[in-house]
Amino acid sequence: MAGGAREVLTLQLGHFAGFVGAHWWNQQDAALYRPTDAKEPPGELCPDVLYRTGRTLHGQETYTPRLILMDLKGSLSSLKQEGGLYRDKHLDAAIAWQGKLTTHKEELYPKNPYLQDFLSAEGVLNSDGIWRVKSIPNGKGEASPDTAGWGTGQSRNMEKEGSIRVWSDFLRVHLHPRSICMIQKYNHDGEAGRLEAFGQGESILKEPRYLEELEDRLHFYVEECDYLQGFQILCDLHNGFSGVGAKATELLKDEYSGRGIITWGLLPGPYSLREPQKDIYRLLNTAFGLVHLSAHSSLVCPLSLGGSLGLRPEPPVHFPHLRYDATLPFHCSAILATALDTVTVPYRLRSSPVSMVHLADMLNFSGKKVVTAGATIPFPLVPNQSLPDTLVQLGGATPWTPLSACGDPSGIRCFAQSVVLRGLDKACHTSQLTPGTPLPSPLHACTTGEEVLAQYLQQQQPSVRSSSHLLLTPCKVVPPYPYLFSSSLSQQGLLLDGPPTGAAVESIPVLGALCSSSSLNKTLGDLAKELTKLNLRRWASFLDAGVEQDDLEEVLQELCSLAQCYQGGDSLMG
């Protein structure tokens, strides 16, 4: 790979993982495009970490995600499993058989109107039937596709966004034919044939058909890498894909020893108590998933906008400058993808990257394989205000909103943390006070933005092992990202000190963090307590799916052991 990129292979397992992944790849795609006359040096983030180059049958260069995704029958809508880039109508017509030919075609799914304006985002299907692909950006590519037709953020309506039922409705990135792996034995829609239980998911990758298909795709992507640093896995925790993830991480650990495996356990928004079986299954799948994923991963991080992993519903988390519908996966997944795009920065940097293995080692000492995430979306900066001013205004409270369903973060202890602040112009990194003016805080005496951030974190959590990164690059939130933003934000996501301009927000500054946190002691302990109260005879179908009573007892013990890792004690000295 160009520039000696340390490649990462992404696995997306499950439908909500597909939602988060679609937003994630759309944001990566939006960040690739620059004006054709751009003279600035290559960006701070290296896209080759996540993308691979290739060629179509017509010799056109392509740039596609290094991705394997697994989902259920009926989840692709109008998206073709083999993708659109490598299709060749001329070859389709050149059939050797000279006899009578009968063609049977399935009825096509209608395309969601929400995606119509982006059908040519990456290229054009010419009149000769050949897909002409745009050149690889590499910092010098074509300008970003026009977003006309979507209207400004204020005119976008919830009804349109509510019509999005599958992630393929809004994915604007073309995938390689080896990316999509469909599980045909279970259905995405309907009440029958659902992938509901951890044991069902485990059994999928025990079947030679699916195991060989996954191994074949892994070998295809891994063998073309010059320096594979590891795997990032987006995995549904609440359904049977937690079992798929458990077997997939076990396979990766066995076959690719020494590589980083960072797993993001994804849970959709808050739920209701009106469907007891789904709620109990969600609890069981989450518990089994966390235990097994942490056993085989370098690091595991639950991601959710809900307030709790347990059975008792808690209100969704609040962002002061976002207005989102917690019942819409399209909204929840966009926020989680934005957090993910920020906290994964360390191992995607072009200069002095922190490898996945080193990031995990910093956070997971003493058996603490599970970490929490948090983010401030957007980071509340006012134009002409400095970073020290903003951090002082935040005060002593935890500056980010928790995103791991671990409850109120106040009063918790942090053992280690990795923090990223992105999207701030260099001019505001340090104090701009006139020489001789009394300094409002020690932060105003710092000479670099990196020093400001590091000192702030030291003030917040003394004696904690902290890694911090400060980037100029903002997070892109152009369509089809949902319009969630308050009218008090500028086009660059800064807080306006005057009347709204009416311009849609296109990029935002974001503060993101991964923490080894004492909140996990209570969260994992409470999860174990809820499991002990279950009368499993009422939920025999979960055991029938391939899990035995002994397995449940083992999960309970492991959860309690994990919880004990996060008990009080001294934080690791920096």
| The length of the chain, given as a count of residues | 574
Element (H, E) at 382: none
Least Cα distance to 460 among 571, 306, 345 occurs for: 571
Condensed to tens digits (0 to 9), the pLDDT of residues 232-291 reads: 999 999 999 999 999 999 999 999 999 999 999 999 977 665 678 888 999 999 999 999
Query: In DSSP terms, which residues pair with 384 in a beta bridge?
Result: none
pLDDT value of residue 397: 78
pLDDT digits (tens, 9 = 90+) for 414-467: 999 999 999 999 999 999 888 888 999 999 999 999 999 999 999 988 888 999
CB-CB contact of 77 with 18 (8 Å)? no
Query: Which pLDDT score is estimated for 110?
Result: 57
The confidence score (pLDDT) of residue 116 equals: 54
Confidence (pLDDT) at 310 = 87
Joined together, the tokens standing for residue 424 give 């701030």
In this prediction, residue 112 carries a pLDDT of: 60
pLDDT at 503: 84
Q: What are phi and psi of 359, to 5 degrees?
A: -65, -45
Q: What is the pLDDT of residue 367?
A: 84
DSSP reduced 3-state for 422: strand
DSSP state of 495: B
According to the model, what pLDDT value does residue 126 have? 36
Residue 12 region, left (φ>0) first, then alpha (ψ -120 to 50), else beta?
beta
Backbone angles phi, psi at 357, to 5 degrees: -65, -45
- Spell out, as residue ranges, where the chain has pLDDT lower than 50: 1-3, 36-38, 88-97, 101-108, 117-156, 570-574
Beta strands (DSSP E) in 207-306 are 228-236, 260-266, 299-303
pLDDT of residue 540: 74
Residue 165 confidence (pLDDT): 87
- The token pair at 256 is 């690719």
Instruction: Assess contact for 144 and 30: CB atoms under 8 A.
Output: yes
Question: What pLDDT is attached to residue 543?
Answer: 79
What are the residues facing 322 on neighbouring strands?
485
The pLDDT assigned to 105 comes to 44
Q: Is the peptide bond before 346 cis (omega within 30 degrees of 0)?
A: no
In the chain, how many H helices and how many E strands?
14, 17
Q: Which residues contact 33 (CB under 8 A, 6 or more apart)?
A: 137, 141, 142, 143, 144, 145
C-alpha–C-alpha distance, residues 183 and 204, integer Å: 8
State how far the Cα of 574 lies from the Cα of 568, in Å rounded to an integer: 17
- In whole angstroms, what is the distance from residue 160 CA to residue 114 CA? 7
DSSP per residue, 306-337: SSBSSSS--PPP--TTB---TT-HHHHHHHHH
CA dist 531 and 541 (Å) reads 16
